[in-house]
A and B are shown apart, each in its own frame.
Chain A
Amino acid sequence: EAQVTQNPRYLITVTGKKLTVTCSQNMNHEYMSWYRQDPGLGLRQIYYSMNVEATDKGDVPEGYKVSRKEKRNFPLILESPSPNQTSLYFCASSLWLAGTTDTQYFGPGTRLTVL
């Protein structure tokens, strides 16, 4: 089954404790992206990657890191989480066609709470 998976699905942590949210896709998509979703603010892009070893900042990258060492995986790293990073996080992937992303397929989401 074609899918994007994320782990963990739920996470409660404390301020400053480093964490990683994993994302993996099995559709051989070149493009992957991380979003956060907050009430009233919609989906905001954190980072994206056009291919292995090619990443770039989205609209709200502060406090986050990413890496793309393999095509299928795109982990999101919070080196020192803060309460304002409490949010619902989605990973998405798509084909990379003529230098642009197209239909994006979303993972199930990770609900993160930072105390």
Chain B
Amino acid sequence: QKEVEQNSGPLSVPEGAIASLNCTYSDRVSQSFFWYRQYSGKSPELIMSIYSNGDKEDGRFTAQLNKASQYVSLLIRDSQPSDSATYLCAVNDGTASKLTFGTGTRLQVTL
């Protein structure tokens, strides 16, 4: 059973701080990695995708991938109250016809 693990949280950070969200996966051949944000009762929306080792930056968001250690992380700089949501990590191993999702980390940005 391929697994994607996330700390459920809540992760609480003050406004303006850096939020660090982590995800580990079990399948070594995984090739594509995604971070989705989901507000309560709403659908997941894509924040970042990453395919190669290293960092990928998009605005306040940075995804980091380390395939040797089988983890992927998401950094949110200058956290805002509007960033308060559940963040889902998703992994595709390239051979399966699906994304495997973690159960998500709930982020709370406090004033």
| Residues of A bordering B, CB below 8 Å | 31, 33, 40-43, 45, 48, 50, 56, 58, 88, 90, 100-109, 111
Contact = CB atoms under 8 A, between A and B. Distances in A.
Q: Is the interface of B mostly helix, strand, loop or mixed?
A: loop
Contacts, number: 52
Most chain B CB neighbours (cut-off 10 Å) among A100, A101, A102, A108 = A100
Interface in B74-111: 88, 90, 92, 94-99, 101-104
A106 B43 contact: yes
Contacts of A48: 97-98
30 contacts: A31-B97, A33-B98, A41-B103, A42-B102, A42-B104, A43-B44, A48-B97, A56-B97, A58-B98, A88-B41, A90-B43, A100-B32, A100-B92, A100-B94, A100-B96, A101-B98, A101-B99, A102-B49, A102-B92, A103-B34, A103-B46, A104-B34, A104-B46, A105-B46, A106-B44, A106-B45, A108-B42, A109-B41, A109-B43, A111-B41
